[in-house]
Structure 1
Amino acid sequence: MAIFFHEEDLPEGVLADGAIAVDTETMGLITGRDRLCIVQISDGGGDEHLVRFGPDSSYDAPVLKAVLADPARTKLYHFARFDLAAIEHYLGVTAAPVFCTKIASKLVRTYTDRHGLKNLVEELLGVSLSKAQQSSDWGGPDISDAQREYAASDVRHLHRLRDELQRRLEREGRSEIAQACFDFLPTRARLDIAGWAEQDIFSHA
């Protein structure tokens, strides 16, 4: 198992076929203001790939974009809504189809309000994650080993989480509604980008 660090694009041929786990690190939580710094990807085989973009990046990453936009690959996220918006805004691709472990958790773990990745990995997989680097500076000239490990850990467990959450969705008869939510997420991300992040356009108000 290894963490690979790349500048500005993903090398050709480093991922196996099938679903890929995806996450992003940005300068903050406002997509249009806070630039995309890192995209993390794992094919579930044990390695994680981190692609870093500099402050003057053109985000011209043809290999990464092709992988993210591939309709034959399901993309596994935790809180897909944010990552989809960042990827679409900066890389110009819709990184779908989607499986979101946070949404799946909210649909089947109705006995708790703790749906963070750390909570999920600890309960379902028995693994403890460190979140110490969550709020660190991802846009600096150097990315520390601790930051690299944190970024990699955000995609390391998503394949196993997906498998367990799929079993629970099927058990509770909620697979269909979960899929409908996943299918809507790219549109939800576009609404966020377009200015409707805080408004519920489906409400009566």
Structure 2
Amino acid sequence: MTSITLHKGDLPDGLSWPDAVAVDTETLGLSLVRDKLCVVQLSAGDGTAHVVQMDRSSYDCPNLKALFADSSIEKIFHFARFDVAMIKKYLGVTCRPVFCTKIASKLVRTYTDRHGLKDVSRELAGVDMSKAQQSSDWGAETLTDAQLAYAASDVLHLHKIRDELTRMLVREDRIELARACFDFLPTRADLDLAGWDEVDIFAHA
């Protein structure tokens, strides 16, 4: 049975995490320059989601920052490039190590061009996700039940998706390539934050 817990400002003391935590963020938009970090949601893969509504006046959240800085805990994202950059900008923490299910999907699900979380979840976790709240106001003072359910759905199944994608990556002998991509993600996020978000510095031109 799924449970969702809302926290104001930070994770509470005393929570324990396994060796991997699923993470997603909600923002006021998709601009790293313009839009603020509003919500961080997490799951240990146990059917429970913790939704942290950020204090945007200070981003004072020592427990959340400590979790992201803990190198013994893998952080599982879908499209980690954006989330890692947002966390770096607003919390001042570099997330390592990282597993990005979108990159993994692109590396191994080469039989499709559908790599969004909704499509990956349907195939690998057997879950049909609703994206109805994706464009809602995440800066609102009070989050609705629908927003909380949406936020939770983005992290509750990432452990299973990671496990399935890892199995496929190993089968296709692409796991080391995937890990190299994941290791580069904090640098990719730094490039985005520094203004090279639309420039391919590896291109000849």
Q: Tell me if TM exceeds 0.5.
A: yes
Per-residue CA deviation, residues 18-40 of structure 1 (Å, 9 max, x unaligned), is 10000000000111210000001
Aligned letter for 2:7?
A: H
Whole-angstrom CA distance in 1 between matches of 2:165 and 2:21: 16
2:5 is matched with which residue? Answer: 4
Task: Specify the SS of the correspondent of 1:187.
Answer: helix
Aligned letter for 2:63?
A: V
Give 5+ residue unaligned stretches, structure 1: none
1:53 is matched with which residue? Answer: 54
2:129 is matched with which residue? Answer: 129
2:42 is matched with which residue? Answer: 41
Per-residue CA deviation, residues 8-60 of structure 1 (Å, 9 max, x unaligned), is 110122233210000000000111210000001111111100111144x2111
TM-score when normalising by structure 2: 0.98
Whole-angstrom CA distance in 2 between matches of 1:15 and 1:77: 19
* RMSD, aligned CA: 0.8
1:68 is matched with which residue? Answer: 68
1:105 is matched with which residue? Answer: 105
How is 1:82-161 mapped onto 2 (pairs within 5 angstroms)?
82-161=82-161
TM-score when normalising by structure 1: 0.98
Task: Specify the SS of the correspondent of 2:84.
Answer: helix
How is 1:170-181 mapped onto 2 (pairs within 5 angstroms)?
170-181=170-181
Once the two structures are TM-superposed, the CA of residue 142 in structure 1 deviates from its matched residue by: 1.3
Whole-angstrom CA distance in 2 between matches of 1:118 and 1:13: 32
1:78 is matched with which residue? Answer: 78
2:22 is matched with which residue? Answer: 21
Q: When the two structures are aligned, how many residues end up with a matched partner?
A: 204
Once the two structures are TM-superposed, the CA of residue 107 in structure 1 deviates from its matched residue by: 0.4
Once the two structures are TM-superposed, the CA of residue 97 in structure 1 deviates from its matched residue by: 0.4
CA contact (8 A) 1:32 1:89 kept: no
Task: Specify the SS of the correspondent of 1:130.
Answer: coil
CA contact (8 A) 1:104 1:165 kept: yes
CA contact (8 A) 1:54 1:139 kept: no
Indicate the percent of aligned positions where both proteins have the same amino acid: 64
Give 5+ residue unaligned stretches, structure 2: none
Once the two structures are TM-superposed, the CA of residue 143 in structure 1 deviates from its matched residue by: 0.6
2:33 is matched with which residue? Answer: 32
Task: Specify the SS of the correspondent of 1:5.
Answer: strand
Whole-angstrom CA distance in 2 between matches of 1:152 and 1:19: 16
